[in-house]
Chain A
Amino acid sequence: MSTALAWALTDSWTMTRRELAHWARQPVQVVVGLVFPVMLLLMFGFLVGGGAGVQGDYVDFLVPGMLALTMAFGLEGTMLAVTQDLGKGVVDRFRSMPMANSAVLVGRCAADMLQSAAGLLVMIGVGWAIGWRTHGGAASFLGAVALLLLFRFAMLWIGIHLAMVAGRPEMVQAVQILVWPVGFLSNAFATPESMPGWLGAAVEWNPMSATATAVRDLFGNPAVTGTSWAASHATLLAVAWPLALTALFFPLAVRRFRRLSR
């Protein structure tokens, strides 16, 4: 069994390298993916500015929220790649080879995690440049980064599963639109208190809000204050939500992949 696991990891790494080789051939796409959230950050930082009901420095409030948003965005690249692979013969070759079943999807996820980590690094750098400062220690800083990547991990598995369900590249756009409400119906830009009651409650329970609140706390930045259970247990939710979502969508995606043989 342990050799099976070792091969599964080796195969996944081979598939990750395949993705990295794609990017080496298409560097422009990768750069665009990194620049888009930076653009959003600058837009909200300078255009919208402190008009969102936040006390204290808006940039210190905004940047952690934007980091969380960055982790939710850009899934369309992953989804497109999955559907395009399925439409071509190359997945048939993978499936007719003695490699681990899950490696095609796991390798894809690992490659996209590397890209997400790079994106996070860029956003942290730009945030720093526009005046964002953290006030926690190095350990809490790393903890915040880990929570962000954990959230990304869960989002990627949702994306991969939805791409397997959608099946065709044309369907991806429709699914992609769903990411926007998740991103904006959150506390990334504004506090739930500035919203109507029902919306504020939905926003507080949004997994992305939990991650944003938890990392604001860890970075020592102005956080969203709330009295609801969700708002006061944000760190717990920031760990539990992604774990629950991954536990649901990872097996679903792998099962979908196996069921290609029906």
Chain B
Amino acid sequence: MIIVEGLGKRYGEKQALKGLDLNVPPGTVHAVLGPNGAGKTTAVRILSTLLRPDEGRAEIAGFDVVRKAADVRARIGLLGQSAAVDEELGGRQNLEMFGRLHHLGARRARARADELLDRFGLSDTGRKAVKQYSGGMRRRLDLAASLITDPEVLFLDEPTTGLDPRGRTEVWNAVRSLVGGGTTVLLTTQYLEEADQLADRISVFGSGQVIAEGTADALKSDLGGDRIDIVLRDAAQLGAAASALPLDLTVDTDRRLLSAPAKDRMAALTQAVRALHTAGIEAEDMAIRRPTLDEVFLHLTKEHA
């Protein structure tokens, strides 16, 4: 559904994309994971016809994004990084306007606006201007505006950046409900957890290229998976704890922290509790967590070096 071959884009001196390849089958969710400046937004802007590539080509639903831009536009929805709605107007006014611009005609545009407001829990916003909405509401309206015509392909560029946890959950739920309907979704994110929660496959971007790709599970086992963090009460016991624990530990003395990969989450936790108990060492905190994007990157760039 989305085919990208050798896509390149340069802004002056900066090479934002260099030879990007991507292939997203219909009806799947593909996450593009990467830090700021990795080229995620540039890629989305090219695929949604907002930006012309310097080299390579990209196809959406069989239409070239440069030569058949109008056909592409009729088939995509875009949720950009900044709210792409008219903040001076109300939610209904926005959706009706976008419906008309999608050439639905006045009556269908109105009906569609009602439907979407209802579906995203925005029916009772009345005439209130969007600038008075909460972050989560604004994002939901933005998403609703991207779905006016039930697009075949939906682009979500960092859909939850800047949202509080509640707003994030709202957006995640909305995205999950879409995927059931057969929409192909390309999602960019800085959060591994978000990619893990929503995507079938993940591409990790680094400086304009894909540096790793696979399912969330494959990537995670590739990356050492989850980690266990143990914070001790007494820094003097760090050495004793390290020799007592049967784990591949890294030690952070300043934070009294021991950290290790935890391929089997429960086993690692039980092991650690038992070992520390036997050694008579007191832990202040113990937690299993996903690797951070920093750790993933460190790992991947080490691998590529």
Q: What residues of chain A have their CB less than 8 Å away from a CB belonging to chain B?
A: 7, 10-11, 14, 17-18, 21-22, 25-26, 88-90, 92-99, 103, 260-262
Q: Which of B48-64 contact A (CB under 8 A)?
A: 48-52
Q: Tell me, yes or no, whether B84 is within 8 Å of chain A by CB.
A: yes
In the assembled complex, the Cα of A142 lies from the Cα of B49 at a distance in Å of: 45
Contact (Cβ within 8 A) A93 B74: no
Contact (Cβ within 8 A) B101 A89: no
Interface string of B66-105 (1 = CB under 8 A from A): 0000100110101011111111110001000110111100
A-B contacts counted at CB < 8 A amount to 76
In the assembled complex, the Cα of A260 lies from the Cα of B69 at a distance in Å of: 14
Contact (Cβ within 8 A) A21 B89: yes
Interface string of B13-30 (1 = CB under 8 A from A): 000000000000000000
27 contacts between A and B (CB under 8 A): A10-B100, A10-B103, A11-B100, A14-B100, A21-B93, A22-B88, A25-B88, A88-B82, A88-B83, A89-B81, A89-B84, A90-B83, A90-B87, A92-B50, A92-B78, A93-B78, A93-B80, A93-B84, A95-B50, A96-B48, A96-B50, A97-B98, A97-B102, A98-B103, A99-B103, A261-B52, A262-B51
Interface string of B86-129 (1 = CB under 8 A from A): 11110001000110111100000000000000000000000001
In the assembled complex, the Cα of A13 lies from the Cα of B288 at a distance in Å of: 57
Chain B CB count within 10 A is highest, among A7, A11, A98, A260, for A98
Knowing A93-B145, A96-B76, A261-B51 are in contact, say whether A14-B101 is a contact too (CB < 8 A).
Answer: yes
Contact (Cβ within 8 A) A94 B101: yes
Q: How far is the CB of A33 from chain B (nearest CB, A)?
A: 16
Known pairs A93-B145, A96-B49, A99-B103 / 15 extra A-B pairs, C-beta < 8 Å: A11-B100, A18-B86, A18-B89, A22-B88, A88-B83, A89-B81, A92-B50, A92-B84, A93-B78, A93-B84, A93-B146, A95-B50, A96-B76, A98-B103, A103-B101
